[in-house]
């Protein structure tokens, strides 16, 4: 499913609000950038800021984090896990896999997806980089990821077992009609979880964001 089919503008909101069997009071959580748990890598080559994991346990099914890469270093391996990296800041990084495959993560917002068990070394192009890191276990979740502009209203729909992750890259955003979440600033992340019926989420603002659609599979 492409982004245009699942991310709609304001014209869709009026038509869908009257649909039966749809939740209109979604579970919306905004995670603030200053509250992310920041941890030094064991090899000393960088930092990880953990944004969210599901479930909230060491044995997670999917996980969102931010990586600050300070020097060339091998990546940790994650057997059975798919990974997606998006460049957020810096001049980029070259991913050199042990099997000879080479991929570049370059500005603006370069994106690469690969299997977590593949050994590789990350080589910085010119100075430190900062990356968005999304990981999910095969058979437990499936993920689609897009970089999208935000210009006014955006409506997202989540079926049961689906979650949207919205990471704000630039600008500001808010959820009309919801007092709790408040205004999102760059670096903040919203977690939008579906109910037992199809759920409608309304986001408004101006800027740019990363959108991930997570579909949970099997036992979660």
pLDDT, tens digit (0-9, with 9 covering 90-100), for 20-55: 355 544 588 999 999 999 999 888 889 999 999 999
Which tokens go with 137? Answer: 């276990």
Of 204, 212, 122, nearest in space to 171 by CA: 204
Q: Which residue has the higher pLDDT, 75 or 2?
A: 75
Residues 96 and 174 in one domain: no
- Cα separation, 170 vs 130, in Å, equals 15
Q: List pLDDT tens digits, range 70-129.
A: 999 999 999 999 999 999 999 999 999 999 999 999 999 999 999 999 999 999 999 999
> How many structural domains does the chain have?
2
- Cα separation, 53 vs 195, in Å, equals 18
Q: Residue 186: what pLDDT? A: 97
Strand locations in 77-195, DSSP E? 81-89, 93-97, 102-105, 111-115, 120-124, 129-137, 141-158, 162-174, 189-193
Residues 208 and 150 in one domain: yes
Question: Residue 149 belongs to a domain with what CATH number?
Answer: 2.60.120.10
Q: Residue 25: what pLDDT? A: 44
Residues 174 and 195 in one domain: yes
Q: Residue 26: what pLDDT? A: 53
Q: Indicate the SS3 state at residue 70.
A: coil
Query: Is the model's pLDDT at 6 over the cut of 70?
Result: no
Confidence of residue 189 (pLDDT cuts 50, 70, 90): very high
Domain that holds residue 194: 3-33+139-216
Q: Residue 12: what pLDDT? A: 29
pTM of the model: 0.86
């Amino acid at each position: 499913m492409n982004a245009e089919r699942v991310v709609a503008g304001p014209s869709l909101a009026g038509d869908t609000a009257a649909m039966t069997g749809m939740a209109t009071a979604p579970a919306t959580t905004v995670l603030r950038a200053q509250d992310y748990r920041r941890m030094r890598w064991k090899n000393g080559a960088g930092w990880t800021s953990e944004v969210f994991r599901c479930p909230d346990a060491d044995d997670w099914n999917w996980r969102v984090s931010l990586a600050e890469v300070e020097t060339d270093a091998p990546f940790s391996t994650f057997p059975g896990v798919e990974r997606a990296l998006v460049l957020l800041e810096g001049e980029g990084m070259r991913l050199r896999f042990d099997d000879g495959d080479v991929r570049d993560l370059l500005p603006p917002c370069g994106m690469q997806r690969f299997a977590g068990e593949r050994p590789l070394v990350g080589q910085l192009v010119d100075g430190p980089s900062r990356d968005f890191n999304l990981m999910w276990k095969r058979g437990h979740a499936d993920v689609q990821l897009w970089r999208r502009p935000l210009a006014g209203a955006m409506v997202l729909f989540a079926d049961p077992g689906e979650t949207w992750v919205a990471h704000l890259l630039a600008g500001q955003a808010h959820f009309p009609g919801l007092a709790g979440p408040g205004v999102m600033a760059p670096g903040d992340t919203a977690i939008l979880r579906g109910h037992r019926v199809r759920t409608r989420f309304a986001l408004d603002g101006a800027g740019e964001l990363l959108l991930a659609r997570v579909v949970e599979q099997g036992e979660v």
